[in-house]
Structures are given as structure tokens and as C-alpha cells.
A and B are shown apart, each in its own frame.
Chain A
């Protein structure tokens, strides 16, 4: 098996301007923030970002990297409205494809299954149809004759996700309560980069114990291109059970102008970021 380990910078060096990029996690939960921070250090721009949006969207929007966003919401969870996303939307900074959470999920399923679309009972009757004039409906070929939205596949050039653990071959394990849609993001993408809290030699054991329950092995290596060890790499979002969301820091993020935040925390590499965060906490905020 090939060793797919690489640094965050090596992973994002494979991304190109104009790509469609899926980002896993949900809201402000288990976001691949170290990879997003690495992406911010490149010149990659003009992205179509596909995300159940959190601070990944906020940061990329504030940095002007998004041409189009595909989402059902963007939130920081404990802070309901994402300030940088809001500002970008209110200034018309990028195009938005706004779909429902379930439509989004079916779009990923369609892409993962190499289908052009999947039918979903959602969207019709709502203004999702008005703001997405390209959406089509499909009529059931069976006796019921019902009409559904034909949610187009959300095929991705690349996906970024964050796991609790991964091996060098690209198998990924989540130990928290929710897989979110991270496996689907990887399967819907031509390339997928997985950051992890901990790189291990083997995820499973011949005699599975509690921690190695096979259903926690979420990602299989056939849909993973690169593995990046990034301890605390979801910071400041949550990464259960390794850590909870850094609420004070998230509050700082949400209340600081982006330029000032970036100057203090995003000017250097990931190590510099983690160190700046520790310093900020030590200073008693």
C-alpha cells in the first residue's frame, strides 16, 4: 500500500484556482481547519465551495477566495450567524447556490454513486426553486406519478475532511458521535485530503475492542488521496471526543475584523497559528 502522508501545504499545493472544493464537517463541528488555513496561505482562488458551512466558509469568504458557494446554511452553532459570511453576502461578494440540507445530501449521494441526479421531496413549493432557476423536476415513472426535484450531483474536484485518526494509506476513523457527511464528500470527489488528529499504523485490530468498532472506520483508502497529520487541526471547531469547540476563541474570531485576526493568527504556518492561540489563551484573552 502506498504511503499517502503529506504535509498540509503539500496537500493544498495540489488545489488549483477555479476548482470545486467540498469541505466536510457541519457548521462549527469537525471542520478541516488546518487544511483551510493552509489553503489561505496559497494563491488559490475563484473556488466553488460546497459545504454545510461554518468558519471554513467564513474564512474563505473573508479572504475573497470564493467565486460560488453551494450551501444550505452557514453558522458557528453557538454563534448562530457567521459574521464574515454575512458581510460577504450582504456585499454581493460571491454567487450563492442555496439548497436545502437534504437536497445537498442527495447531491453528494448522486455524485458518490455517479448518477446525474437523485429525486428528492424537497425544494418544490419553496423559493429554492426561484433562486436556482437551473433546478429541474422529475416525474416518477411508476403509477404514483409524483413530481420531485432532480437534485443534480455535487461532483467535487477535491474534498477536505478532518478525522480523529487515520493511517498512512488513507483509511480514516471518526470517534465522535456523528460522521456528518465526510465519507460522502470523499466519495463525491476526484481527490480527497484527510487531516487527522493522530496518524496511526493500524486503525483496526484482529480482535476489535470498543475503540476499534468497525463502523467508526468511516473513510476507506480508495477514496482518499492524501493524509495529513494535524493535531488540533479542527481548532477552533469541535472534534469530539478529542476536544470541544474553543468557544472563547470562536468569539474572538467572530468579533475581530478579518484583517486583524489574520495578521495575528494566520500570518505564519500551522505551528505559528497553534502557538499564537496558546499565547492568546495564556494572556487571559
Chain B
């Protein structure tokens, strides 16, 4: 019998993304990006069976892709403002309090690089839980100050008042290095778990602001044998996850913290 291949970094990322939707109940999971999509499907197949999912267009679909409902863009926006949704967005930049930018790099009036635009980030962050997925953790993304606040972070929501904070929640940020949350007194970003093989030093090196780090940071949990099987043979047999997050070369020495 062949030995089961080791868990890849991408698979830890899938688990970390899937966990974002744990205990969410009957809400729409809106994953953006390959690994969050695999994670959402894994969550629905296992510990969050009530999640709603779309075909990426206007239909709500079951696990086999069979339509179970209709969700065109304007009703999608109702799901947002009604709070029956948990989105995992991307971020071109994100700061210490979870302010996110996908609009442009540089001065907004005359950007160095025009990106997508604010899209639905302002409405998302004020209305439904909004998590983030960053496939390549670096100082270019984890910045001291974002150039254009699209997704609203904890400090900006607090400054904007009760109407902004009422439904504001950023459950987690997942990157290829670890999982981050805002479970600190000042709601600044905290290293919640490291993906196995990653060190705290590595995360600090790749982050452009001061990160809260607990004395003993846990590792992102292992997939169960069933989850591993589902990821590899049912949800992503083509290995798209490993193209979004390439497994790092084996490190010499211990995986210390």
C-alpha cells in the first residue's frame, strides 16, 4: 500500500477557510478565490451542511450543482443587507485593523495602479460577516495603511458609529502562512494559528505592521481523514488548490516557532 501523501500547505489553507463557515447555519457562503471555494464546499459537505451556495452566477445550487434556488445580483445584495451571508473576499491590501483595499494602489485621484474598484466591500463589511483570503502573504498586502479603504476595518467602523458597528464583523483572515483574527482588546490583528511548517518569525517578516502574537500560538488543525479524502478525490481532484498555493520546498531543520 502506498503511503498517503503528506498534507500540503494548500490543504491547511482549505481547512482554515472552511472553518470560517463553521456554525454559520443557513446562510449564503460567498467564497472568492479557489481555496475559499474548496473550503466552503468542504464545510457544507461536513460540519456546516445548511450553508447555501451559488453556481457563481444567479443560481443557488446543491453539492452536485443541481439548482435549488434563484439568487440574481439584486437578491444577492438583499442577502448581504439582510445579513444572511458570510463572504470571504480577497484583498490587494489589508491593514492591522482589517481595513481592506481592492480599488487602486497609490493616490486615488491618480492611481499608480487601478484595480477592480470598491465593488461590494463597503456594504459587505457593514452588513454581513466578512472574512478575507490572501494566497500570498507579504508586506505588499499586509500594509501599515491601505491606500483606499474599501472593506471597513474595526477602527474605522468604530469611528463611524453605531450604524457602522451594528453588524460589522471580520471573523478571520486566512493567508498561506496562517490564520488571523481580531480577538484583541483594541481589535487589532492577531496571529490565531500558524500553518504547520511556518514560523512566527516568518509571519512577522512578511507583515508590514505589528501583529499581536500570543505566547503559545497553535497550529492550524489537521484535516480529518474524511476531509482529506473529500478534498483530494471529490472536491478538488484536479489539484487547483496546489496551483493557488504552491507547497513550499521542504525546510532544513526544525519547524520552530
* B192-242 interface with A by 8 A CB criterion: none
Minimum CB distance partner of B166 in chain A: A146
Instruction: Please pick, from A75, A122, A176, A178, the residue contacting B122 in the complex, using a CB distance under 8 A.
Output: A122
Is the pair A180, B80 in contact by a Cβ cutoff of 8 Å?
no
Is the pair B119, A181 in contact by a Cβ cutoff of 8 Å?
no
- Judged by a CB distance under 8 angstroms, whether A33 is at the interface is no
Contacts of A81 in B (CB 8 A): 114-116
Is the pair A103, B74 in contact by a Cβ cutoff of 8 Å?
no
Instruction: Please pick, from B110, B113, B123, the residue contacting A100 in the complex, using a CB distance under 8 A.
Output: B123
* B148-183 interface with A by 8 A CB criterion: 148-152, 156-157, 159-164, 166-168
* B119-168 interface with A by 8 A CB criterion: 119-123, 125-127, 148-152, 156-157, 159-164, 166-168
Q: What is the CA–CA distance of A269 and B36 in the complex, to the nearest angstrom? A: 45
Q: What is the CA–CA distance of A124 and B116 in the complex, to the nearest angstrom? A: 20
- Given contacts A102-B123, A125-B149, A146 and B163 within 8 Å (CB-CB): yes
Contacts of B150 in A (CB 8 A): 126-128
Q: What is the CA–CA distance of A127 and B156 in the complex, to the nearest angstrom? A: 10
Nearest chain A CB to B112 CB, angstrom units: 7
- Judged by a CB distance under 8 angstroms, whether B30 is at the interface is no
Contacts of B119 in A (CB 8 A): 72-73, 100-101
Q: What is the CA–CA distance of A128 and B114 in the complex, to the nearest angstrom? A: 15
One of A37-45, A86-94, A247-255 at the interface: A86-94
Contacts of B27 in A (CB 8 A): none
Nearest chain B CB to A90 CB, angstrom units: 6
Instruction: Please pick, from A26, A99, A123, the residue contacting B73 in the complex, using a CB distance under 8 A.
Output: A26
- Judged by a CB distance under 8 angstroms, whether A19 is at the interface is no
Nearest chain A CB to B58 CB, angstrom units: 4
Contacts of A102 in B (CB 8 A): 77, 80-81, 120, 122-123
* A178-193 interface with B by 8 A CB criterion: 178-181
One of B9-17, B101-109, B249-257 at the interface: B101-109
- Judged by a CB distance under 8 angstroms, whether B65 is at the interface is no
Nearest chain B CB to A138 CB, angstrom units: 10
**When each residue 112-148 of chain A gets 1 if its CB lies under 8 Å from chain B and 0 otherwise, what string results?**
0000000011111111101100000000000000111
Contacts of B77 in A (CB 8 A): 101-102, 105
- Given contacts A89-B104, A125-B126, A127-B150, A72 and B117 within 8 Å (CB-CB): yes
- Given contacts A100-B119, A127-B150, A85 and B114 within 8 Å (CB-CB): yes
Q: What is the CA–CA distance of A26 and B117 in the complex, to the nearest angstrom? A: 14
Minimum CB distance partner of A126 in chain B: B122
- Judged by a CB distance under 8 angstroms, whether A71 is at the interface is yes
Is the pair B166, A126 in contact by a Cβ cutoff of 8 Å?
no
Is the pair B117, A121 in contact by a Cβ cutoff of 8 Å?
no
Interface size class, chain A: 35 or more
- Judged by a CB distance under 8 angstroms, whether A177 is at the interface is yes
- Judged by a CB distance under 8 angstroms, whether A223 is at the interface is no
Is the pair A180, B73 in contact by a Cβ cutoff of 8 Å?
yes
Minimum CB distance partner of B108 in chain A: A131
Nearest chain B CB to A16 CB, angstrom units: 28
Q: What is the CA–CA distance of A98 and B116 in the complex, to the nearest angstrom? A: 11
Is the pair B117, A125 in contact by a Cβ cutoff of 8 Å?
no
From A74, A120, A121, name the one whose CB has the most chain B CB atoms within 10 angstroms. A121
Nearest chain A CB to B198 CB, angstrom units: 28
Contacts of B126 in A (CB 8 A): 121-122, 124-125
Minimum CB distance partner of B164 in chain A: A125
Q: What is the CA–CA distance of A79 and B14 in the complex, to the nearest angstrom? A: 24
Contacts of A85 in B (CB 8 A): 114
Q: What is the CA–CA distance of A134 and B90 in the complex, to the nearest angstrom? A: 29
Q: What is the CA–CA distance of A101 and B151 in the complex, to the nearest angstrom? A: 13
Q: What is the CA–CA distance of A177 and B74 in the complex, to the nearest angstrom? A: 12
Is the pair B121, A178 in contact by a Cβ cutoff of 8 Å?
no
- Judged by a CB distance under 8 angstroms, whether A80 is at the interface is yes
Q: What is the CA–CA distance of A281 and B157 in the complex, to the nearest angstrom? A: 51
Contacts of A98 in B (CB 8 A): 103, 108, 117-118
In the complex, 30 of the A-B residue pairs with CB atoms within 8 angstroms, ordered by the A residue number, are A26-B73, A73-B117, A75-B117, A86-B114, A89-B104, A90-B112, A98-B103, A102-B81, A103-B122, A103-B123, A121-B127, A121-B167, A122-B123, A122-B127, A125-B125, A125-B126, A125-B149, A125-B157, A125-B160, A126-B151, A126-B152, A127-B103, A127-B149, A128-B122, A130-B149, A146-B163, A147-B161, A176-B58, A177-B72, A181-B74
User: What would 13 more interface pairs be, CB under 8 Å, given A85-B114, A125-B159?
Assistant: A73-B118, A75-B116, A81-B114, A81-B116, A98-B103, A102-B122, A105-B74, A121-B163, A125-B152, A125-B164, A126-B152, A179-B72, A180-B72
The 5 closest A-B pairs by CB, nearest first: A73-B117, A122-B123, A125-B160, A177-B58, A102-B123
